[in-house]
Homo-oligomer: A and B are copies of this chain.
């Protein structure tokens, strides 16, 4: 189950955060093998870091000193789609894109999409409760999960792959493993919900005079389009202009705005749904909520609008000296947060450059700043998040990178409860130790710390 020489890829991580060399790499092929590995490591207090596609953005999977890598890259089996039920059971090492393509081939769709789809795996997506562009319509990854198979630190296998839409027979243990970044168990398989394919989709790109106007437009489109509204993205002017230059793409609207919005609908009937969508947008123009708008009239135009949104991410990836915060605040707090963060960041670094975009429909912004003072700028942004009663991680997780700021959005009581869970399920602290939070006393591991 282990390679002789350790390949360098296991030490790679996003950006410039390279992990150390792992002690060894374990590459189990089945849940039973994962169980055997964990049972032995637990008995010997050997710390492990679980790896999927290593695309995480907060260094949960980065190798720390003294850790072995538990890579699920060989667990890539997919069961056939159950079309009547709209479900599929897949191994943790399956790439998101493979899952999407398998659903598509069966005439269905998977509800989560993120940029790293080609490498990010189901196991990592579960462990980080991945979000992305269509949370507004389909929810986070948590909402896609009908059941999991997971292995506890002591090798216990918990299997819940029945594919039941409703099951209130005792505690839902699956929830423990979703978004806990591999610290409570290793997810090996998942039963996932698939959705009917949209019969029709369209999008629009708008220039708006203010973020307040964007929030009003969101509220109006929610009322007008109901569950059809499937994405509502915001782009601020600096990153919009940079993404246009970087990608060489055409401006979708001629007017300039204080903010730009990409709204998407997934409907059932082209003429009717797009007419309603266009009506709501035209009314918003007449009411001076929107300054300028383009509604896509073809699949080509639809893709072009999405490509501009994706160009924002590509532009950011091409830059160096960027610090990124993935934050969320309630919509009513958003305008105040943006003003205060702007001032706080400029105070921390007068030369800071701002790149702000994200999923406004979920109150989630990627707030990315070009700066030579990363810690001071991060402090500034996340302190404003605290003041706005928001979250310092909307979708990327805490990992190693953000744990020093966790107390800004979670109370001492909450962090103590997280530690209670960690102590109950991983008493020797072998699973992704030090991710999200540290345990108070890092004593030498015992065979059963609770006895």
Contacts and interface: CB of A to CB of B under 8 A. Distances in A.
A50 interface: no
Contact of A170 (B218, B223, B396, B414): B414
Interface in A50-101: 82-87
B394 A166 contact: yes
Interface stretch (A236-244, A268-276, A288-296): A268-276
Interface in A350-391: 359, 361-364, 389-391
Contact of A175 (B87, B175, B215, B228): B175
Interface stretch (A4-12, A25-33, A39-47, A157-165): A157-165
Interface stretch (A13-21, A202-210, A305-313, A405-413): A405-413
A38 B84 CA distance: 47
Task: State the copy count for this chain.
Answer: 2
B85 A160 contact: no
Interface in A167-205: 167-173, 175-176, 178-180, 184, 195-196, 198-199
A216 B83 CA distance: 11
Interface residues of A, number: 98
A413 B171 CA distance: 12
A169 B392 contact: yes
A396 to B, nearest CB: 7
A436 B170 CA distance: 6
Nearest to A173: B417
Contacts of A116: none
A199 B226 CA distance: 8
27 contacts: A83-B219, A84-B331, A85-B363, A135-B165, A139-B143, A156-B417, A160-B414, A162-B389, A165-B328, A165-B361, A166-B328, A166-B394, A167-B409, A168-B396, A169-B406, A170-B406, A170-B415, A170-B436, A171-B179, A171-B180, A171-B184, A195-B227, A196-B227, A198-B226, A226-B266, A272-B272, A417-B425
For the complex of A and B, 5 pairs with smallest distance between CB atoms: A175-B175, A424-B424, A166-B394, A167-B391, A165-B362
